[in-house]
Amino acid sequence: MSATRYTYLGPEGTFTEAALRKLPESATRELIPMVSVPAALDAVRAGEAEAALVPIENSVEGGITTTLDELISGEPLQIYREVLLEISFALLVRPGTTLADIKTVTAHPAAQPQVRNWLAAHLPEAVWESSASNADGARLVQEGRFDAAFAGEFAAATYGLEPLVTDIHDAENAQTRFVLAGRPARPAAPTGADKTSVVIWLGEDHPGALLELLQEFAVRGVNLMLIQSRPTGAGIGNYCFAVDAEGHIDDRRVGEALMGLKRICPQVRFLGSYPRAGVSRADVRPLRQGTSDAEFVAASDWLRQCRDGRP
Amino acid sequence: MSATRYTYLGPEGTFTEAALRKLPESATRELIPMVSVPAALDAVRAGEAEAALVPIENSVEGGITTTLDELISGEPLQIYREVLLEISFALLVRPGTTLADIKTVTAHPAAQPQVRNWLAAHLPEAVWESSASNADGARLVQEGRFDAAFAGEFAAATYGLEPLVTDIHDAENAQTRFVLAGRPARPAAPTGADKTSVVIWLGEDHPGALLELLQEFAVRGVNLMLIQSRPTGAGIGNYCFAVDAEGHIDDRRVGEALMGLKRICPQVRFLGSYPRAGVSRADVRPLRQGTSDAEFVAASDWLRQCRDGRP
Amino acid sequence: MSATRYTYLGPEGTFTEAALRKLPESATRELIPMVSVPAALDAVRAGEAEAALVPIENSVEGGITTTLDELISGEPLQIYREVLLEISFALLVRPGTTLADIKTVTAHPAAQPQVRNWLAAHLPEAVWESSASNADGARLVQEGRFDAAFAGEFAAATYGLEPLVTDIHDAENAQTRFVLAGRPARPAAPTGADKTSVVIWLGEDHPGALLELLQEFAVRGVNLMLIQSRPTGAGIGNYCFAVDAEGHIDDRRVGEALMGLKRICPQVRFLGSYPRAGVSRADVRPLRQGTSDAEFVAASDWLRQCRDGRP
Amino acid sequence: MSATRYTYLGPEGTFTEAALRKLPESATRELIPMVSVPAALDAVRAGEAEAALVPIENSVEGGITTTLDELISGEPLQIYREVLLEISFALLVRPGTTLADIKTVTAHPAAQPQVRNWLAAHLPEAVWESSASNADGARLVQEGRFDAAFAGEFAAATYGLEPLVTDIHDAENAQTRFVLAGRPARPAAPTGADKTSVVIWLGEDHPGALLELLQEFAVRGVNLMLIQSRPTGAGIGNYCFAVDAEGHIDDRRVGEALMGLKRICPQVRFLGSYPRAGVSRADVRPLRQGTSDAEFVAASDWLRQCRDGRP
């Protein structure tokens, strides 16, 4: 029964699995590793899974374009949750291996920028070879192909390895953001600390279009958290923008901004409104004066009175 | 019965009366001249007249502040019509008077900038003395106090005078705009060539407030036709703004802009939506893409679908 | 010798004279009352006076359009100083007159809104007749034509009258702002609490022009203190704007904003940079980050290095 | 002698080499293939090469983040030229191979989105395996490891292969943009069809910062062609922006915009002004009124006159 399955970017032992296990409901779902982000999402589109957890942004490498492009095109999907995970690596080895024994190391290429300095300092002679995923690298160590793999510490047990060194991360605050995507449905109710994701296509080439897009948000006091350009495929110089904004589509200010975008842009794709990971209502920046739901309702009442001749 | 009376800025024979007679319904109303703009408007507030016609703007002298200030403060009134009148003067004299006979001339001080050059060229020796209104000046000529008066040619008959010279106007395109103000009621339906007047108070002294105000209009594609600052009476540096915008309060784009103002400004007074004088639907600048009622409705439908999980 | 004469809006005993005497240098100038604002300014244009003090703005009535229009058109003049004067009236009578004796009162029409409530409360039966100036009203009381005149208390001595009641002002904080205008010359050096006045004509009718004008100031962090529309004389709907901005033309941010206006507007008239009345350097709002002269110089140095290939 | 060498993203036979050969001066340079973008650029930084040609943007996949991040951080480099190359693939095989013989295909992973549909239609059974570069794939076909490789047709000769099918490209208009980067020096003189690249860091988290950044360009009439966010490495939610703008740093409007950015942003890195590939002066959008160098000079003259008292 599909409603009880979540897919994720596998294999087992990746950071994505670790992120998925941070969601309480994962305990009651069947968790299915998939070979790629498109595969994880297509299973949801096909109705074979309820939702998929995929990485979308990395504080070192930036937006994960495969995921963005999958959400931008194809059958619409909607984001329901986000998960933030601190990324730090362990050096996994077969039991008994010491640092001095390590001649070859492996990991997914994305790990390289986060372990490069550590490697240069501690294993300057080791030869690096990339693997298809960090978990796959661990498996290859298990099989004896490499001496050590960089991976999440949680992957050690799965592959019968030992963490020789832990907490390796060249950049402080290295984080990856994951999203849980499902088929479109009514978003969860606002929590007061929400985020709304949309993709916006700009119209025929006119230079001020991006400025106008931002003003639709600004004039309603909706703060932007992320704006990421992606090619539309129509040639160099043609972009769409993936935007994360503070607030929930049910908030009046957000709704009015989205309608403004819908009117001036040839296409807008709603990607979901969902709670912000790691942010509670108390942490949210106060609303700009005049942008609360109560103020929207009061202004709407006033307008109706003016229209009716009772100002 | 008050509903059949219109007051106007008198006395008889003023340009205001001429403007009022351009309104077809004036033929079926009792037209009551009043001694001042406040008196004309207070008769409406008191229920003694249905509406009052008063001058509000002059292409030579600018906004007529007495009228603006009356509409800005006091019991609310609403504008239902505007009238544009080309202003050109006749030199009115007692029958038989020739240019050579004229030693003294009179008119309301507001007439002076529009006849100054003519006077200098044709009657350089004549002594000017101001009168309380142009019509009053004509009366004083009738009584023999002055030799000639500048007034509308239509005033000649009322005071038994003759127009010795007509079509005197130093400035080309000299026009005065008049408004017909009544007690608040539902505005007339949109004609497609409408104007909306509001008064907007800015909030606590912050430098960008005027820019924000204009952006509320601009982001919804609502063009401004006039913006006039008036002191609030709270000391030098405190202003409110009388604004005329294209469109009707029933237009979605205008309604949304007004709600935006209502939310960010401490006070907004709606002064009416009414047909633009001398402008037909065909003359109106085309709407900016994305600002028609149909586009607002479509965006609103789309938003509802997104909120309901049916994007 | 003209350089030692200041003209002002007379006659003697007006608020303008009182304002002029607040300027220390007035003690060493010959002060010449003139019959009108144009007359006072034309004497400067003609080289018959060094400068003229004229009222330009009133916290109750707003901009004084005669003065604005004189500065906007004709031979250019430049503002070198401003003076703020609290406006409060005395009721001036011939010695021995009591309140009960007063049947007729007079003053300039501009005084009326500031004494109307007081009159209604204390002399409800008195008949009001306007005079050409407050000082003129005082003279007419001296001559016995009226029983009492509203004027500045300082006018009593000039006309042999007594202040029967003082400190009459319906509105709190009633102030008038005066400017000292001379022929164009290098402005006084910046004091750190300066104001710059310009007149700006908008180009061919395009709706966003006013917004663009304001953005030229905003993007350089220059705050506006006053914006006043005036008709250009080219017919209803054609305006220019008199603008007062914080800062001095020698400030880089102000200079760059003015150049921006000069480029996008068909005409800009510089009306002067001068110290703000009643405001010291310590009272001035702090500059927005990035808009100080030092930051302009640093950015300019950086640009030169980039252009020279030494970033 | 280093000044005669250009490095590029190798190996021989890549699209980068094809792009490099479009530059006329490549005929007189020693062209050195490097194993990676960082290696190509570091050779320039180390003075071992005069310049490096590297891909920066792809119409299908978007910005090439490795290149962007290399230009954003590390020792400054500057862009002197850009090259646009239409991307279309040939299927390279050993002489004699037919479609029916092909069981395995290879290419760089970036090729996959551009040949996926073709593969599904013509070789649905073939097994795909990624190679380190398209040229490397061709080499592996030469060595017999795979049956066919997708690569540029020009790579066939280098590896003794034949193009079995040519002009394969799933997306129309697939292009890659390359830049030629060298050590900082004075940019080439403006051609009238130029582009300026900068990286801009936003200041402390404030929501309107991106809007302000865009307004610095907009108010000077400088059009943006590309804006690409990149993580700063300081954690999720911290971005810098790589921006391509129309115009040359020697253009006054561009210079003023850059200075504005320099003042309000904590860091700005100038990446170069260079001729736009494939665009001649006649193709360039006309400048907005008021933004030409001549208009900047005229406004500057006017400002100087105002400051000197000769308006």
Tell if the CB–CB gap between A260 and B186 is shorter than 8 Å. Answer: no
The complex's ipTM?
0.91
Q: Are C251 and C204 part of one and the same domain?
A: yes
Judge whether A108 and A134 are in contact, CB under 8 Å: yes
The pLDDT value given to residue C2: 52
Q: Are A154 and A287 part of one and the same domain?
A: no
The pLDDT value given to residue C144: 95
Q: Are B40 and B113 part of one and the same domain?
A: no
Q: Are C74 and C97 part of one and the same domain?
A: no
* C253 phi-psi bin (left φ>0, alpha ψ -120 to 50, beta other): alpha
CA–CA distances in Å: residue C276 to residues C9, C176, C256, C284, D18: 21, 14, 21, 10, 66
pLDDT, average across residues B129-147: 90
pLDDT band at C3 (very low <50, low <70, confident <90, very high): low
φ/ψ of A22, rounded to 5, equals -75, -20
Which of B160, B185, B210 finishes a domain? B185
Average model confidence (pLDDT) across chain B = 92
The pLDDT value given to residue D174: 86
Average model confidence (pLDDT) across chain D = 92
pLDDT, average across residues A90-102: 96
Tell if the CB–CB gap between A234 and D59 is shorter than 8 Å. Answer: yes
Q: Spell out the alpha helix ranges (H) of chain A.
A: 15-20, 37-45, 65-72, 112-122, 134-142, 155-158, 209-218, 252-264, 293-307
Contacts of B262 in chain A (CB under 8 A): 298-299, 302-303
Contacts of A296 in chain B (CB under 8 A): 259, 263
Q: Are B180 and B70 part of one and the same domain?
A: yes
As beta bridge partners, residue C89 has C168
Domain that includes residue A128, residue range: 89-168
Q: Are A132 and A263 part of one and the same domain?
A: no
Q: Are D73 and D102 part of one and the same domain?
A: no
Q: Are A49 and A191 part of one and the same domain?
A: no
Q: Are C6 and C121 part of one and the same domain?
A: no
The pLDDT value given to residue B3: 59
Judge whether D141 and D106 are in contact, CB under 8 Å: yes
Instruction: Please determine, for residue B110, whether its predicted confidence score (pLDDT) is greater than 50.
Output: yes
Instruction: Please determine, for residue C301, whether its predicted confidence score (pLDDT) is greater than 70.
Output: yes
Question: In this prediction, what percent of chain A has a pLDDT beyond 70?
Answer: 98
CATH of the domain at B50: 3.40.190.10
Query: What is the residue-wise DSSP string for chain B?
Result: -GGGEEEEE-STTSHHHHHHTTSGGGGGSEEEEESSHHHHHHHHHTTS-SEEEEEEEETTTEE-HHHHHHHHSSS--EEEEEEEEE--EEEEE-TT--GGG--EEEE-GGGHHHHHHHHHHH-TTPEEEE-SSHHHHHHHHHTTSSSEEEE-TTHHHHTT-EEEEEEE-SSTT-EEEEEEEES--PPPPP-SSEEEEEEEE--SS-TTHHHHHHHHHHTTTPPEEEEEEEE-SSSTT-EEEEEEEES-TTSHHHHHHHHHHHHHSSEEEEEEEEEPTT--GGGSPPPPTT-SHHHHHHHHHHHHHHHTT--
As beta bridge partners, residue D230 has D240
Instruction: Please determine, for residue B2, whether its predicted confidence score (pLDDT) is greater than 60.
Output: no
Instruction: Please determine, for residue C202, whether its predicted confidence score (pLDDT) is greater than 90.
Output: no
Which residue matches tokens 């948000």?
A217
Instruction: Note the pLDDT tens digit of each residue in D51-86.
Output: 999 999 988 778 888 899 999 999 999 999 999 999
CA–centroid distance for B29 within its chain: 20
CA end-to-end span of chain A: 58
Average model confidence (pLDDT) across chain A = 92
> Looking at CA atoms only, how far is residue D122 from chain A in angstroms?
22
Which tokens go with C229? 């529309």
Tell if the CB–CB gap between A237 and D231 is shorter than 8 Å. Answer: no
CB atoms inside a 10 Å sphere around CB B310: 11
D295 or B133, greater pLDDT = D295
Instruction: Note the pLDDT tens digit of each residue in B180-213.
Output: 999 999 999 999 999 999 999 987 666 678 899 9
> What is the rounded distance in angstroms from the CA atom of residue D70 to the CA atom of residue D179?
12
* Contact B254/A at CB under 8 A: no
> What is the rounded distance in angstroms from the CA atom of residue C187 to the CA atom of residue C248?
9
The pLDDT value given to residue C131: 85
As beta bridge partners, residue C90 has C151
The pLDDT value given to residue C98: 95
pLDDT band at C238 (very low <50, low <70, confident <90, very high): confident
pLDDT band at B149 (very low <50, low <70, confident <90, very high): very high
pLDDT band at D3 (very low <50, low <70, confident <90, very high): low
> Looking at CA atoms only, how far is residue D49 from chain C in angstroms?
18
Q: Are B157 and B204 part of one and the same domain?
A: no
Judge whether D80 and D186 are in contact, CB under 8 Å: no
Instruction: Please determine, for residue A283, whether its predicted confidence score (pLDDT) is greater than 60.
Output: yes
Instruction: Please determine, for residue A1, whether its predicted confidence score (pLDDT) is greater than 50.
Output: no
Instruction: Note the pLDDT tens digit of each residue in C31-50.
Output: 999 988 999 999 999 999 99
Which tokens go with B243? 């604004």
pTM of the complete model? 0.91
* Contact B302/A at CB under 8 A: yes
Which tokens go with B305? 């679908």
Amino acid making up residue C231? P
Lowest mean pLDDT among A53-62, A180-189, C38-47: A53-62
φ/ψ of C253, rounded to 5, equals -65, -40
The pLDDT value given to residue A309: 93
Instruction: Please determine, for residue C1, whether its predicted confidence score (pLDDT) is greater than 50.
Output: no
CATH of the domain at C296: 3.30.70.260
Tell if the CB–CB gap between A62 and D60 is shorter than 8 Å. Answer: no
Contacts of A311 in chain B (CB under 8 A): 76, 78, 184, 269-270
What is the largest distance, in Å, between two alpha-carbon atoms of chain A? 87
Q: Are C30 and C145 part of one and the same domain?
A: no
Instruction: Note the pLDDT tens digit of each residue in C81-124.
Output: 999 999 999 999 999 999 999 999 999 877 888 898 999 999 99
Instruction: Please determine, for residue D11, whether its predicted confidence score (pLDDT) is greater than 60.
Output: yes
Which of C137, C160, C185 finishes a domain? C185
pLDDT band at D254 (very low <50, low <70, confident <90, very high): very high
pLDDT, average across residues D293-308: 97
Which residue matches tokens 């601190």?
A86
Judge whether D184 and D269 are in contact, CB under 8 Å: no
> What is the rounded distance in angstroms from the CA atom of residue D187 to the CA atom of residue D198?
13
The tally of domains found in chain D comes to 3
Q: Are D214 and D136 part of one and the same domain?
A: no
Angle between helices C37-45 and C65-72 (to 10 degrees): 20
Which tokens go with A267? 């296409």
